Structure 1
C-alpha cells in the first residue's frame, strides 16, 4: 500500500542568494500513522508543512501524495487534491467572525463541489464529531479558544481527508484546552485518520507514537528509524 504522503530528497530554497529552508529531506508517512515533527523556531517546520500539504513546491526532489508525483500538477489540480485528500489545522483558527460554527465548517467543502444543503448537513455531523453539537449556531466570538480550535478541526475533517496536517494546534490555548485538542486528535487518529502535528513542544511530541526532529532544514532524528532504515 502507498504511503499517504512521501518526500524524497526534497530541498526548498528561497531568495537570491538562496537560503536553504529544507535540505535533502526524505520522509514517508504511512496510512494510520500519528507523527510529531518537532523543532525550534527557524528549523524549517513551517516550510516542511507547506511542502507536505502541497501549498509550496520544492526546489528539487519529489513529493508523492498517495503514490502520485504532484510535480506535474497545476495549481488548480493541486487545489482539488487538497480539497479531497488533505485537511489543515493552524495555530491561528482562521474562522470567519460573523459566521456560525456550522457555516464556518461548511465552507471547508466549498471547493469539493458539495451542494449547500449537504455541506451544512456534513458540517453539523463534523461538529458533533468534535463535541460541539451544542454550538452549531454560535459565532467565533461566542466560543472559547478550545472550542474555536475544535471548529477549525471540524472544518479540516469535514471532507473526510485521509491526512490531517496540524500546525501548532495547541499553541494559542491554555493547558486544559490544549489537552482537549490533543485528546481529540487522538480520537480522530483511532478512527483512521493519518495525522502529522508540527510543533515546538517537545513534551507534546514525546506523547505521540512517532517523533521526527528537524533542525536547520535537516531531519535530525526519526523515532521510526531502525538501523538507518525508516520503517
Structure 2
C-alpha cells in the first residue's frame, strides 16, 4: 500500500478553449512529514499544480491521489469533506473576515464538519495558542500586524489538524521580519508532523526548505532534497 500523502501520475491540466496546458504530465510523490517548496517563474504551473493537490481542481488526464484517495474518482461532496478534514490552506491574502475577532475567524472550516459550537471554539483557542497568539484571541484583523494576521490564517488552516498544509506565497505580503516568523512557524508545524507544501518565488526562502521542486512550462524540471547524514 502506498503511504504517500500526495501521489501524482502523469497529471495533465488544460484550461480554456483552445486549451492551454498549465500542468504537463507531472509525476510527483510526497511522503508524510515532508516540507517541500514549489518554485518557478510566473506561468510555470505552480498554482495549477497546487490546486490539483488541494483538490480545488481535477486533472484533465492522469491520476492524482491525495491522502490515499483518488481525486478523479471522488464526488464533489467527498472532495469537500476531504478538504474540510484533511487539507489546510494558507494564501498570500489573509482572507480574514473584517470586524471579526481572531477566535471567531479561525473555526470557519469546522462549520463543514458538524463540530459543535463549543468544541469549535475550544479548538480555535488551542490553534491560536499553537501559533503564538494566545494573547490576541479577541483582536480583530485591523488590530493585528501583517505577521499576526497570517498567523491567524495559519491557525485557521490547522484547526482541523490536517494531514497536509498547502501554502501559496504565505510570506508574499509581509515584511522580512514577519515573513521570517511565518517561516519559523511553518517549520515548527512540520517538525511536529504536518506535511507542508509551499509555493514561493523567493529563491533564498526556498533554499531553507528541505525539498525544492522547480517548475517551468508546466513541468517539473528539478527535484532537489537535502541529504541528511
Shorter-chain TM-score bucket reads over 0.9
Q: TM-score, normalised by structure 1?
A: 0.96
Show the counterpart of 1:124: 125
For structure 1, the residue ranges without an aligned partner over 5 or more in a row are: 227-231
SS in 1 for 2:89: strand
CA RMSD after TM alignment: 1.3
Shift of 1:67: 2.3
- CA distance in 2: counterparts of 1:166 and 1:59, whole angstroms: 23
- CA distance in 2: counterparts of 1:16 and 1:24, whole angstroms: 19
For residues 83-162 of structure 1, what are the structure 2 equivalents within 5 Å?
Answer: 83-162=84-163
| Alignment of 1:189 onto 2:190 | yes
> Following TM superposition, where does structure 1 have runs of at least 4 consecutive aligned residues deviating by more than 6 angstroms?
none
SS in 2 for 1:3: coil
| Alignment of 1:51 onto 2:52 | yes
- CA distance in 1: counterparts of 2:49 and 2:71, whole angstroms: 15
SS in 2 for 1:196: strand
- CA distance in 1: counterparts of 2:23 and 2:122, whole angstroms: 41
Q: TM-score, normalised by structure 2?
A: 0.96
Contact map agreement 2:25 2:219 (CA 8 A) in 1: yes
Shift of 1:71: 1.2
| Alignment of 1:19 onto 2:20 | yes
Shift of 1:73: 1.0
Show the counterpart of 2:81: 80
- CA distance in 1: counterparts of 2:51 and 2:3, whole angstroms: 21
